[in-house]
Structure formats: structure tokens, C-alpha cells
Structure 1
Amino acid sequence: MSRRSNSGALPLVAVLFGVYALSFVGPAAQQRKGTALRAGGESVPTGLVWPSPEAEEKLREVDGIKLYPTHAWKDEMDPIVDASAKLEDTPVIVGVAADSGCGKSTFLRRILGALGTEVKPGHTAIGDMMTVICLDDYHTNDRAGRKATGLTALDARENDFALMGAQIEALKTGKAVYKPIYNHDTGNKDPPELIEPNKVMVFEGLHPIYDEKARSQLDLAIYIDIVNDVKFAWKVQRDVAERGWTEEQVREDIEKRLPDFSKYVDPQKANADVVLRYEPSDKGLPFLKVKLIQKKGGKFPMVTLKKDLSLSGSEPGATLKMYDDDWFGNDVTVVEMDGEIDMDNMEEQLKEVESNLEGLGAKSAEELTEAMVSLKSSPGSQNGTGLLQTVIAMKVREIYEKITGKDA
């Protein structure tokens, strides 16, 4: 494992089917249900491509920030504005690197559960304590524009990192921003929406760890890493069943994204504080080996295992172990779960696991077990997916409480 780059990694869209269940509705799904965008405008194409002479003519600049007209700015909008109310504490900023469409998922629901809060669905999910922003909104061009440039959405040149970094920094300082909107249903860039700072702000998508300025604002950088065999199996299962594709069509669709994913998305895991990695189980697919890869000295508070564990029951059973390793030149500690727990004996086995985890930062001796049981029906609850997602969720809460000095 030590220095594998996972070059040629497949898009994380497979996460939606194989690892995450959509527990609250994401942007595209909300639009299909008829929920209005928070910006309230009609979805119409700008007819512009950046760069082009036509777009250059309409370019304006505010406080050194270029406002590309492809973002469908309205004349009265500035990229950074005063917030409607002052927060008591600095917002806690979390980046989750994953492919497009991988936002409003069981993983984020586990974070909401650990924080004891909820969000209202919309283009951007917003609640009393947490806001979840999809970084697809910072695509510079709309779908038609990308066809004109010949670049994919994964390509760094198709993403407005200057605006992204400036707005994340502004939110961190308590300012509000007019954030662009990428409409997944129409493929248009709709007029920006006003986003107020919140106690916890999650930026999920292709490139939260890619740009240095954006990365420097993160209180925690998370990377979701799924190896090729697992991703391909999930994507085939989903696209053949739901879209009527053949396996060959799925393979072709995957392969055309490989170069840009490998160049622009995959390298971010070297700068992540924690990586949640999915590999085939030693017992073979469809069973999984899930690893929590924790950078030593990083921003992720370390979780350790007192001893190796073996959980028997229904096949294939599960094993847990811990070891040190090297990850892209970083010293890391890995907690690994291979296989599946016995769902008929779920609570007892989880209690055994929880009692052997140190540094969990739980509010009670069985908090992790109770959180897992409450989402028992969610995909991944039987393997390391649910367990290690819940661990990360509790650590997000711990980071929030450390930074603010307040209980969540």
C-alpha cells in the first residue's frame, strides 16, 4: 500500500451506489423533485464560454476577484458581502474530496448525527449548524461550454479556484458570499445564491484539497479513496441496472475519465489529514476491506485499536487490525476492517469493537454502537464503511468542540 498512487482511479460516482445511500437529497435530485433553487432564478444558458472574446467583454472585477460572466452573475451581486448576523465563533471548515454527485450521503448524515443537527434540502443543504456546499458549483463553464473547450469537469482549468479560495476564506472570517450554482439537471450555470457563514461548513466535491489557498482554510481534509476493482464493480451494477448500459459502455465511460481523475483528483489524497480507503476484501468481492488512514501529526485526532479483533458469525466474518505505514511520504496509522459483522448480532459485536477503540472522543461508552444501530438499514452498515464513517463523524465533532470550546 505504502506509495501506491492509485493512478487510473475511477470516478467516485460509484460511491453513491456501493458505499453511500442518499439519506438526504442532493442538488440534482432536488431539482428533479421540483424544489426551487435557493437563488430563485430560471435556469437559462448564458451562451458564453470562458475563455472567449465575448466572455472577456463582459468580465468584471471586484476587489481583485474576477467575476467570469459564465457564472451568470447579476449586476447587483458582489462575490463577498457582509453577513446578516455575526457568528460567535469562527466557522469550522471541512473538505471532503470525492467525485461529483457524492455529497448528500450517509457519510454526511453520520456527521449530522454526531453534531446533533439536521439540514434542509435545497441546491445547497443548510441547517442551523451545518452547511454543505458542492464544489461542482465552481465549474467555470456550463455543460455546453465544456464541450466547446474540450475539457472535462475534473480538469483544473475548468474550475474557478481563485473564486473558490477567496470565498472559503471569506466564510472562514465570517463574511457571506454569492456562490455560483451549477444546475446538474440542465447543465447551466444559474445565478449565484447567497450563502451565510455557519458553524460547520462542509465543502465536498472534486477539488477541495487541490488548490493551496482553499486547502489552507480547511480545519480537516478528508479523501474518499476507492480502488479500481471496487469502483468498477459498483458502477457496472448501478449503470447496467438503472441505465440499461452494457459492461463495455460502462468501461468506456470510466476509461475516458481516467487521465483527468489521475491528474487532478487522485493526487489530493497525499495532502489529506485522513483517507477512507476501500479495497476488495481478502475474501474477494463483493466483500470489502476498509481502511482509516490517519496522518501522524495531522489535523485528524488519532484513533487507535487496543488489539486485533476477529468477529465470527455469519460469513465472511470480520477482522480488525492496526498498523503503521507510509502514505505518499507521510507517516500514518491505519485502522483496517476486513469483511462484515454478523447483522443478527450487530449490537454485541459493535460493543466489542467500540470497547477496543481508543481516542474515539465518544460522549458515552456506547455512542458509536448506538449511532451505527440507528442507521442499521443504510448501505455499508455491515462493514467498515459504516463503522469508519461514524468514527470520522465523531472526530469532526471533536474538532469543532476543540476549535470553538463548546459542546456540539
Structure 2
Amino acid sequence: MSVDPVFIGIAGDSGAGKSTFVKDIATLLGRDKVRTISFDDYHSLDRVERKAIGITPLHPRANNLGLAIEHLFLLKQGKKVLKPVYDHSTGSFGDPEWVVPVPYIICEGLHPFFFRSLAELYDMKVYYDTQMDLKFNWKVKRDTAERGYTVEQVAKEIRLRQRDIRNFVEPQCALADIIIKLKISKTSSSAIGVDWKEPVDDPWLKKYLKSCNFDDWKCFNEWYAGRKMNVFGIQSDLTQDQLKELSSIFSISQDVLSKVKEKEVVPYRTMLVLFATRIKQIRASKDKEEKVVFKDAV
């Protein structure tokens, strides 16, 4: 019986922390059950070619999104695909690699649901928003350490990309099921807080938190990308007792909880636990549907 993967799309600007988020989610879900697809691998131009014609990787013309749609569609059908590989250390392409369906496929990058035909392939879409100060510092640190850039080159690249970010990356937030906003926090030991935003007409988190009494979790409404959203501000660390309360409310699985061992759970880790729980619920729902279909077929 072929695997019907849970498809998760994570969109956001370069340096926002998407790759780290995906790695951490994979740890909670089980690395053997997760396959990550970076949409950077679907660049159609290498670094030299982009520079020669004056285009950034954020522009759709610098990416083969048609091939990405084809590959995700095939994976959704339970078929393997031969995916290109982009090497950031050289700015060019390496040998392609096979991707086979697994229980969770997480696609992250600049354009994972740029087209509606892409967006419709996902079971969950997340727009990963990060405060500019954090994003700038993270991008400089990553690109100078891993991608061969100088600080000046990174700063220049960020300036050049702003128009393309506004035109091609940020509009995807209007299609997201969840917006995750990372921001500076003065009340967390990590100095990073999280706003979890969800449409008011799809209140997954709000539904569960009705029975939760966390004074530090501020809840309010705001308009974001033309939609009214519930916003939950997770700005302070949780104690293990509070984490246990959350686990009871959300029925968080023990295999997820066992991987969060800090005495004080920082907002980012709390968000990871909640997100992993949401994804596992989707997996359980799919498995239940598959059993019904299989039973009917028999």
C-alpha cells in the first residue's frame, strides 16, 4: 500500500529561519518519517547566470516552479521523483537525487505556494514571518559562514531583494493556514517570542486554548493580508508543569514531549510542539480515511 504523505508548505523570506524550523519539526515528528524538499533546488539559474541577467532568486523566472508542481503531484500519487539539487556553497547545481513518498513531506522555500495550483497540493500551509532585525542577523551569519558571502555583500543583496520580496514572497501569506511570526521578546530567556496567527474562521488553536489559563499568552484579533486573524502571543518561557497542562489539553503524544526536556520551555519550542501536534492530527485523520477506504474496497 503506497504512502499518502501529509504535505506541508513553509513559505517565507530568505534568512527567516525556515530551514531551522523544518529540521526541528522533523526531529519532533521523527526524522525517518520526514522528507524535506527545499524549493531552492528548483532554481532554474545558477548564481553566475542570475548575476549576469540581473535577477534575484526570489523572482519566479529564476525558478522552475512547473517542475516543482509536477514533482509534488507525482509524490502525492505515491510515485518517486528525481529532484534537482542546488548547492548554496558553490551557487551551482549538484547531482539530482531521488525522493520517495514518506508520511510527512515538508516543502520550504521562497515560493512553495506561489501558484494556487501549488497551494492546493498541501494539507497545511505556513507563512514564516520573522522580525527584520532577527532576519538580518541570521542571514548575515548564515551566508557568511556557509555560502561564501561577505557581510557587505549580504547587506547589498538584502537591499536589492526588497522589491521582489514584496512582489513574490509576501503575497503567499494570504494563502497560509498559519502565520508564524518570530520577534524579539524581553520576557523569554531565548530573547525570541512567537505570535501564532490563524484565520478566525479556522480557529484550531483558539478552540483548544479555551480551557487553558496562561496569563502570559496574549490573545487578540488583527487584520493580516486581508483576513481577520486570531493572534496568540507566546512571549514567555513555559515551565514543565505548564507544558504538561498543554499536553493534556492538546493530547500531545509522549514521543513529542520526550524530545522537549528543557526545564524552561522557550516560546519557539512551545510553538514547535503545538505545530508538530497539529501535523500529527492531520496524519491521524489521513490514516483513518485510508482505513475506511481500504475497508470499503475489501
Residue in structure 2 matched with residue 322 of structure 1 by the alignment = 219
| Shift, 1:331, TM fit | 3.1
Is contact 1:273–1:300 with CA below 8 Å preserved after alignment? no
How many angstroms apart in 2 are the aligned matches of 1:390 and 1:93?
18
Matches within 5 A, 1:189-204: 189-204=93-108
CA 1:222–1:170: 2 relative to 1, 3 Å:
same
Matches within 5 A, 1:4-403: 86-87=1-2, 89-100=3-14, 102=17, 104-105=19-20, 107-113=22-28, 115=29, 117-118=30-31, 127=32, 129-235=33-139, 251-281=155-185, 287-298=191-202, 303-306=208-211, 309-310=214-215, 319-341=216-238, 346-351=239-244, 354=246, 358=249, 360-363=250-253, 370-373=258-261, 376=262, 382-403=265-286
| Shift, 1:255, TM fit | 1.7
Structure 1, residues 26-56: CA drift from partner, whole Å, max 9, x if none? xxxxxxxxxxxxxxxxxxxxxxxxxxxxxxx
| Shift, 1:402, TM fit | 0.6
How many angstroms apart in 2 are the aligned matches of 1:186 and 1:241?
13
Q: What SS is found at the alignment partner of 1:198?
A: coil
Residue in structure 2 matched with residue 37 of structure 1 by the alignment = none
Q: Which runs of 5+ in 2 are unaligned?
A: 291-298
Alignment partner for residue 404 of structure 1, among 277, 287, 292?
A: 287
Is contact 2:82–2:99 with CA below 8 Å preserved after alignment? yes
More helix by share: 2
CA 1:289–1:199: 2 relative to 1, 3 Å:
closer
Q: What SS is found at the alignment partner of 2:260?
A: helix
How many angstroms apart in 2 are the aligned matches of 1:154 and 1:273?
22
Q: Which runs of 5+ in 1 are unaligned?
A: 1-85, 119-126, 311-318
How many angstroms apart in 1 are the aligned matches of 2:88 and 2:154?
20
| Shift, 1:183, TM fit | 1.9
Q: TM-score, normalised by structure 2?
A: 0.81
CA 1:296–1:287: 2 relative to 1, 3 Å:
same
Q: Which residue identity does 2:270 align to in structure 1?
A: L
State the percentage of identical aligned residues. Answer: 28
Is contact 2:188–2:236 with CA below 8 Å preserved after alignment? no
Is contact 2:200–2:228 with CA below 8 Å preserved after alignment? yes
CA 1:183–1:385: 2 relative to 1, 3 Å:
same
How many angstroms apart in 1 are the aligned matches of 2:145 and 2:75?
41
How many angstroms apart in 1 are the aligned matches of 2:144 and 2:81?
41
| Count of residues in Structure 1 that have an aligned counterpart in Structure 2 | 287
Q: Which residue identity does 2:285 align to in structure 1?
A: K
Q: What SS is found at the alignment partner of 2:219?
A: strand
Q: Which residue identity does 2:7 align to in structure 1?
A: I
Structure 1, residues 88-140: CA drift from partner, whole Å, max 9, x if none? x4221111113457555354333442x3x22xxxxxxxx3x221111111101
How many angstroms apart in 2 are the aligned matches of 1:309 and 1:182?
44
Report the aligned-residue RMSD. Answer: 3.4
Is contact 1:308–1:321 with CA below 8 Å preserved after alignment? no
How many angstroms apart in 1 are the aligned matches of 2:142 and 2:99?
34
How many angstroms apart in 1 are the aligned matches of 2:153 and 2:45?
26
Q: TM-score, normalised by structure 1?
A: 0.61
Task: Pick the structure with greater CA Rg.
Answer: 1
CA 1:396–1:111: 2 relative to 1, 3 Å:
farther
How many angstroms apart in 1 are the aligned matches of 2:153 and 2:282?
43
Structure 1, residues 33-91: CA drift from partner, whole Å, max 9, x if none? xxxxxxxxxxxxxxxxxxxxxxxxxxxxxxxxxxxxxxxxxxxxxxxxxxxxx51x422
CA 1:93–1:226: 2 relative to 1, 3 Å:
same
How many angstroms apart in 2 are the aligned matches of 1:299 and 1:140?
38
Is contact 1:325–1:332 with CA below 8 Å preserved after alignment? yes
How many angstroms apart in 2 are the aligned matches of 1:185 and 1:404?
39
Is contact 1:337–1:384 with CA below 8 Å preserved after alignment? yes
| Shift, 1:300, TM fit | 6.0
CA 1:169–1:249: 2 relative to 1, 3 Å:
closer
